Amino acid sequence: MAMINEHDALTAPAAAPILEGDAGDFFALLKPRVMSLVVFTALVGLMMAPGEIHPVLGFIAILLIAVGAGASGALNMWYDADIDLLMGRTSKRPVPAGRISAETTLAFGLFLSVFSVVTLGLVINWLSAGLLAFTIFFYAVVYTMWLKRWTPHNIVIGGAAGAFPPIIGWACVTNSISLESIALFAIIFLWTPAHFWALALFKAEDYGRAGIPMLPNVAGERATKIQIVLYSVLTAISGIVPTLMGFAGTTYGVVAAVLGVAFIWYSWQVWRMADGDKKMIPAKKLFGYSLIYLFGIFTALLVDALVAKFFGVVV
């Protein structure tokens, strides 16, 4: 016990910050809510891909994709600590709140990036590892460091990072990229703008304070609402593409069409919302529904794939 007591008295410069962040804070650096979306969509890509993968290796592949996504989240929190501090939604994150230092966060993110990519390459295949590396690079460098503070189209282009997981999951099984996996990518890619612009509408003050050029702050509410409706229509169309391409059944197509019509309806309510509305209820409802939409679409795809795989029928 004496040794433990000696360890408690660290030799360090008086001014050096001492970590107060616990394991939960390090887990928060991985953006667990974003990670849950990544895990789910990657799993659907993996389950829909033609071919076989050992179930344990499939589980490990999803785990490594999740770690890679978490690593890019940590790198994002390292770089964005200055603007996170200025926004109510993000000011309690471990870095702006001072519980974990920026240097530690950078090291954590870089280590997990290298670990997840190299292990995925060694255990599964190097195409999926390369795609994971590109996804981390795209989110941490292209989106976070370049697009986010520069253009109102930041989340349109940056949305690609969040759309890659099903392609990676698919590549884990087939060691290839196909039109089918690109169709899954397109659903998330086209869904992202309406989802984030709904958030940007009712968080415009926060984004304005941080100096992030989100569309409502740069182009105004009216232009944003028009763009939201346009992207919701594109998202609804992309949702039924798997059935049109023949790799999902008719039942899925009907579910996707109903979910898509509801998505357009919620967007339409946002379009009808008076400019300058303070409560922004329709925008908040659209933001909530957009999450339900994406989980609904990918759940339906998963069920479709499982039925086809285990019962050999397309419904």
Q: Tokens 């050992």 sit at which residue?
A: 54
Residue 12 is a binding residue for another protein (CB under 8 A): yes
Residue 5 touches another protein, criterion: CB under 8 A: no
Closest contact distance (angstroms) between CB of 17 and another protein is 11
Question: d(Cα 266, Cα 225) in Å, to the nearest integer?
Answer: 11
CB of 312 to another protein, least distance (A): 26
Residue 310 CB, nearest approach to another protein (Å): 22
In the numeric block, the tokens 């109510």 are attached to 88
Q: Does 313 bind another protein (CB under 8 A)?
A: no
Q: Among all chains, which residue has been given the structure tokens 């790198």?
A: 75
Other beta carbons within 10 Å of 92 = 12
The footprint of another protein on residues 102-141 (CB under 8 A) is 123
Task: Copy the structure tokens of residue 55.
Answer: 């179930």
Nearer to another protein, 19 or 291 (CB): 19
For residue 104 the two structure tokens come to 């530690």
Q: What is d(CA 290, CA 130) in angstroms, rounded to the nearest whole number?
A: 30
User: Please, what is the minimum distance in Å from the beta carbon of residue 114 to another protein?
Assistant: 14
Tokens representing 102?
């920026």
Instruction: Give the count of residues interacting with another protein (CB under 8 A).
Output: 22
Q: Are 261 and 236 contacting, i.e. CB atoms less than 8 angstroms apart?
A: yes
Which range in 7-15, 147-155, 258-266, 282-290 contacts another protein by CB under 8 A?
7-15
**CB–CB of 125/175 below 8 Å?**
yes
| Positions in 25-84 near another protein (CB under 8 A) | 25-26, 54, 56-57, 60
Residue 135: name the closest of 199, 187, 68 by CA: 68
* Identified binder of another protein from the candidate list 2, 3, 11, 275, rule CB under 8 A: 11
Residue 8 binds another protein, judged by CB under 8 A: yes
- The Cα diameter of the chain in Å comes to 70
Specify the residue, 29 or 236, whose C-beta has the smaller distance to another protein: 29
Start-to-end C-alpha separation, the chain: 65
User: Min. distance of Cβ 56 from another protein in angstroms?
Assistant: 6
Cβ of residue 29: shortest distance to another protein, in angstroms?
12
Kindly report the number of other CB atoms within 10 A of residue 132's CB atom.
Answer: 31
Contact between 13 and another protein (CB under 8 A)? yes
H or E segment to which residue 147 belongs: none
2 sits near another protein (criterion: CB under 8 A) = no
Q: Is 278 in the site for another protein (CB under 8 A)?
A: no
C-beta of 273: minimal distance to another protein in Å? 45
State which residue, 25 or 277, has the beta carbon closest to another protein. Answer: 25
From the list 308, 202, 204, the residue with the least C-alpha distance to 247 is 308
Residues contributing to the site for another protein (CB under 8 A): 8-14, 16, 18-26, 54, 56-57, 60, 123
